[in-house]
């Protein structure tokens, strides 16, 4: 009886710990899955935190196809990621922007997380290659100071 209670306690505690993942932990898990299992599986696992995304299967499929296109033939080898910035709109809404490093060029991955109650969910994920334009604009603004 004691053994059964301990197993139940461990299962409940592990569910609580998984549900309490922070946005940065969720993004880090995405990158581990991305490197080890590929873009499609990483996207599926990332969006699994948000039950409402089941209604957006076409958009998610398109996103997976585009992200799968960032393969070694197109952008070269994947070397990892670095946090560019974090912006909190409130305690329950966070945007994380990452520089993802490939041979050919950097790509920005942007995650938006929302915490409607007790657990964080992925609200939005996108990627783009406009980092060079952004840094050029930032440099122009520096000259105005």
Share of the chain above pLDDT 90, in %: 52
Q: What is the average per-residue pLDDT within 24-36? A: 96
- The arithmetic mean of pLDDT across residues 8-15, rounded, is 43
Question: Residue 101 contacts by C-beta under 8 Å, 6 or more apart in sequence?
Answer: 78, 79, 80, 81, 82
Q: Using CA atoms, how far apart are residues 35 and 47, in angstroms rounded to an integer?
A: 17
DSSP the chain: -HHHHHHHHHHHHHHHHHHT--HHHHHHHHHHHHHHH-HHHHHHHHHTT-GGGGGGHHHHHHHHHHHHTSSHHHH--EEEEEEEEEEEEETTEEEEEEEEEESS-EEEEEEEEE-SSSS-EEEEEEEESTHHHHHHHHHHHHHH-
CA–CA dist 51, 121 (Å, integer):
9
The predicted model scores a pTM of: 0.77
Each residue's pLDDT tens digit, 53-73: 665 677 778 888 888 888 787
Give the residue, 123 or 13, on which the prediction is more confident.
123
């Amino acid at each position: 009886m004691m053994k059964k209670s301990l197993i139940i306690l461990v299962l409940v505690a592990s569910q609580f710990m998984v549900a309490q993942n922070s946005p940065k932990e969720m993004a880090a898990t995405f990158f581990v899955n991305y490197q080890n299992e590929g873009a499609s599986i990483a996207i599926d696992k990332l969006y699994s935190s948000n039950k409402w995304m089941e209604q957006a299967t076409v958009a998610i499929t398109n996103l997976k196809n585009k992200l799968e296109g960032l393969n070694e033939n197109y952008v070269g080898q994947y070397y990892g990621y670095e946090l560019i910035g974090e912006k909190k709109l409130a305690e329950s809404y966070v945007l994380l922007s990452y520089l993802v490093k490939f041979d050919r060029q950097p790509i920005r991955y942007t995650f938006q997380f929302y915490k409607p109650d007790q657990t964080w969910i992925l609200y939005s994920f996108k990627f783009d290659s406009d980092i060079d334009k952004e840094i050029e604009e930032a440099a122009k603004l520096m000259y105005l100071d």
